Amino acid sequence: MPVVSIKNLNKTFKDFKAVSDLSFTVEEADVYGFLGQNGAGKSTTIRMLLTLIAPTSGTMELFGMNLRQHRREILQQVGAVIERPDLYKYLSGYENLALFGKMSGLRLTKNQLMDQLEVVGLADRAASKVKTYSQGMKQRLGIAVALVHNPRLIILDEPTNGLDPQGIADIRNLILHLSRQLKKTVIVSSHLLSEIEQVATRMLIIDKGKKMAEGSVTELFDPAKTIVKLSTDDVSAALSRLKDCKWESAITKTSGTSITFQVHKEQVALLNKELVALNIPVLGLQPGNSLEEYFLSLTGNNQHVATFTN
């Protein structure tokens, strides 16, 4: 039985359709990547899952129960951090966690609270006031708050927004720990393909409120379908030199300044070597993947490239 089952979900704000006929499932122990550009409908969907806003139509089931009919029972098994967590900055990390535990109706011992802070890597800063924490530490404390009632499902909305590289790595490692060691089901929304690729077992791509693709990371990131973009100063001359070469059949697209190949990931270095041997000026050779190409072909908007792929 799926942990989350969404069918034909729609959300309209006056004349704007934020989510359109969206259906997906999240299985037990998934790290489910919810991927799309800013404004794609990710946060709206998550807010409907948390009953913060009501859907226009469609059904949502969590743990085999209808969310509308069993709201309280379901939300007792869900923890969430929506963008930046709301914390009391003049209290310590420990005091924040203890306070949120009491607000959830829990009576947690000091050892239990410290264990929770240990999970998110904050045990050594438990006594420090939150105002002294970095943004990454605040984000991890927010996740500790979301875990305080030991939920089955964790929902993280853009958890790496505004973090430096170390903060992003810390959140990434924490997500993997929640899944692999604590056996939690995790939904992670992001506009960063590179981050989702490193943590997700399955993912959904959403654009303008609609599902673009869904599947396992292995299915969507097929190494045999690596996209390689060659930038050169004379595409016509390059195509002439590639004629009757084994790489000619791998060409998928050409433009005024580039030639795109689809090859196995392990062949990229060989392709570069043989392009040079053919006296083709290689101004740039940029490998990507079939998912990036698929996404961009569907959106048809180059302004999305930097946000989505970097």
Pair 155, 175: CB distance under 8 Å: no
- Tens digit of pLDDT for each residue in 61-96? 999 999 999 999 999 999 999 877 889 999 999 999
Between helix 135-147 and helix 165-180 the angle, nearest 10°, is: 20
pTM of the model: 0.80
To the nearest 10°, the Cα dihedral for 119, 122, 126, 129? Answer: -140
Q: Where are the alpha helices (DSSP H) in 158-279?
A: 165-180, 193-199, 217-220, 235-242, 268-277
For the chain, what's the residue count? 310
* Residue 266 DSSP one-character state: G
**Tokens standing for 134?**
């970095």
Count of H-run helices and E-run strands, the chain: 12, 14
Q: What is the average per-residue pLDDT within 179-201?
A: 91
- Tens digit of pLDDT for each residue in 87-134? 999 999 999 999 999 988 888 999 999 999 999 999 999 999 999 999
Beta strand pairing call for 251-254 and 226-231: unpaired
Domains in the chain, CATH or no CATH each: 4-219 (3.40.50.300), 223-288 (3.30.70.980)
Query: Please, how many CA atoms are within 13 Å of residue 136, restricted to the half-sphere of its CB?
Result: 15
